[in-house]
Amino acid sequence: MVDVNKRLKVDRSLEIWRRAEESIYLGVQTMSKSPKAHAFGAFPIYIDHGKDAHIFDVDGNEYIDYVCSFGPIILGHGYPRIVEAVKKQLERGVLFSLSNENEVILAEEMIDSIPCAEMVRFLKTGAEATTAAVRLARAYTGRDKILHCGYHGWNDWYAATYRKSEKGVPKALEDLIFSFKFNDINSLKALIDREGPDVAGIIITPLSGAEPTKEFLEGAKKLAHDNGSLLIFDEMFTGFRLAMGGAQERYGVIPDIATFAKAMANGFPISAIASRKDIFANCSELSISSTYAGEILSLVAGIETIRELREKKVQEYTGEYGERLMEGLKEISCSTSMPLQVVGAPQLPYLNFDVDKEVYEDVWTLYLQEMAKRGVLVRRKMYMYITYTHSEADLKKTLDAAEGALLVVDKALKNGDIKSYLQTVAPSEPSYLSISR
Ligand SMILES: Cc1ncc(COP(=O)(O)O)c(C=O)c1O
């Protein structure tokens, strides 16, 4: 049992991190995993293994996992049906120089599930899928400009939106992409009025903390079509999570193209674009190709994940769990007087703190620190991802942890000395940063 007054023991994590900083560029493969984004020194950095909805760090601490690898884990870690199917395939081969029937089976499963999918194409990552979707929209319309709302990956076409802080992205691309605000149809209309004839596609991540209004999604579709542009939904974390047919099923607005990845294979690396046949038919010469896109372990994991989601009605389970979690968090927020915002869809609750800018980051750091000590792993400014293996006991433990953590945050805020409650340590600088050109 962890003593909640003491700092969480993460010595082994810190030891490995020191090696990582010297051997891995920026220390991580996914920027969201950077320990500097959490509570450095008071939060785990390295996970050893996972089982169901629980993960275990290299120091032996156990957590209920609500980050779920940033969305991919929807059934649970080491979920038997997926493990068995993948093991069986592993013995038969991972990748061949010709195609494999599992590609077709997974394609058919997706077409059965997703309203806009008449055909699909597989890739490996979310960024690859959104890049393919944008290329498809540009090829179909013969136009270059993209209007977007949300995060769509690290590739150049999208990174151009934040190029000012991002070196290595060609400046010329900045003139091809423009951002509009979620749930603000007028901000999209203003862009259409300005860039209209050059706009190939409008790409939207259809959940942004809060749920989308009908006016926003339907309005975006009408604006796109009246302008001769295509509507793309980036369903990376809503796909298979909100419903079998993703956000387009839940909100009843069918886009022209959609992209998927995270929950479709319970953690295996695979992504997909889905669209209508007439759109693909007009883009038959498009060069989208990748050696690993037909890797069979992920295809098999995808097939079994989608079948399990459908057979077990997983989104009903996670939705009911999520609703109770949101209710419980709202009650705690009232009883602790913490200004906590609890929004999102039942399958994807989203938390935020409505506190002064000066203390905002520290409030999150303290909350993460206190939740980790109480055996619950969450991330700052993020959805709480729920799996089919989160249990009744997990729900109770999570709400107890949230109450304990929020009481500490509340006290720290009232005392006006939040920093004194942080048990974090200052991150070191890796030695290579002192090398000059
Ligand atoms: C909505 C959305 N689109 C695209 C991506 C990029 O996916 P990946 O990191 O697999 O390239 C992400 C990743 O978090 C995402 O959330």
Calculate how far, in angstroms, residue 371's C-alpha sits from the geometric centre of ligand 1: 26
Same domain, yes or no: 60 and 87: no
CATH number for the domain harbouring residue 130 = 3.40.640.10
Condensed to tens digits (0 to 9), the pLDDT of residues 68-77 reads 999 999 999 9
Same domain, yes or no: 175 and 252: yes
Ligand 1 atom with the smallest distance to the CA of 262 is 10
Average pLDDT over residues 87-110: 98
Ligand 1 pocket test: pick from 31, 32, 130, 298 the residue with the most ligand atoms within 8 Å of its Cβ.
Answer: 130
Residue minimizing CA distance to atom 4 of ligand 1: 152
In this predicted structure, the answer to whether residue 267 has a pLDDT above a threshold of 90 is: yes
Please list every protein residue whose CB sits less than 6 Å from any atom of ligand 1. 70, 125-127, 130, 150-153, 205, 234, 236-237, 261
Tell me how far apart the alpha carbons of residues 419 and 424 are, in angstroms, rounded to a whole number: 9
Same domain, yes or no: 378 and 278: no
Is the pLDDT higher at 371 or at 427? 371
pLDDT for the residue numbered 49: 98
Same domain, yes or no: 172 and 253: yes
The three-state DSSP-derived secondary structure of 355-409 is: CCHHHHHHHHHHHHHHHHHCCEECCCCCECCCCCCCCHHHHHHHHHHHHHHHHHH
| Total of domains in the chain | 2
Ligand 1 atom with the smallest distance to the CA of 154 is 11
Same domain, yes or no: 306 and 402: no
pLDDT for the residue numbered 336: 84
Q: How confident is the model at residue 406 (pLDDT cuts 50, 70, 90)?
A: very high
Ligand 1 atom with the smallest distance to the CA of 125 is 10
Calculate how far, in angstroms, residue 128's C-alpha sits from the geometric centre of ligand 1: 9
Q: Are 412 and 421 in contact (CB under 8 A)?
A: yes
Q: How confident is the model at residue 164 (pLDDT cuts 50, 70, 90)?
A: low
pLDDT for the residue numbered 157: 96
Tell me how far apart the alpha carbons of residues 252 and 110 are, in angstroms, rounded to a whole number: 17
pLDDT for the residue numbered 84: 98
Condensed to tens digits (0 to 9), the pLDDT of residues 231-258 reads 999 999 999 999 999 999 999 999 999 9
Q: How confident is the model at residue 1 (pLDDT cuts 50, 70, 90)?
A: low
Ligand 1 pocket test: pick from 234, 236, 264, 381 the residue with the most ligand atoms within 8 Å of its Cβ.
Answer: 236
Q: In this structure, is residue 288 part of a structural domain?
A: yes
pTM for the predicted model, two decimal places: 0.96
End-of-domain residue from the set 279, 295, 312: 312
| Mean pLDDT (the chain, rounded) | 95
Residue minimizing CA distance to atom 3 of ligand 1: 152
Q: Are 137 and 232 in contact (CB under 8 A)?
A: yes
pLDDT for the residue numbered 11: 97
Condensed to tens digits (0 to 9), the pLDDT of residues 128-160 reads 999 999 999 999 999 999 999 999 999 999 999
Ligand 1 atom with the smallest distance to the CA of 70 is 14
Q: In this structure, is residue 433 part of a structural domain?
A: no
Q: Which domain does 197 fall in, by range?
A: 80-312
Same domain, yes or no: 339 and 387: yes
Average pLDDT over residues 101-107: 98
Average pLDDT over residues 39-54: 98
Q: In this structure, is residue 117 part of a structural domain?
A: yes
Q: In this structure, is residue 140 part of a structural domain?
A: yes
pLDDT for the residue numbered 47: 98
Calculate how far, in angstroms, residue 174's C-alpha sits from the geometric centre of ligand 1: 20
Condensed to tens digits (0 to 9), the pLDDT of residues 359-397 reads 999 999 999 999 999 999 999 988 999 999 999 999 999
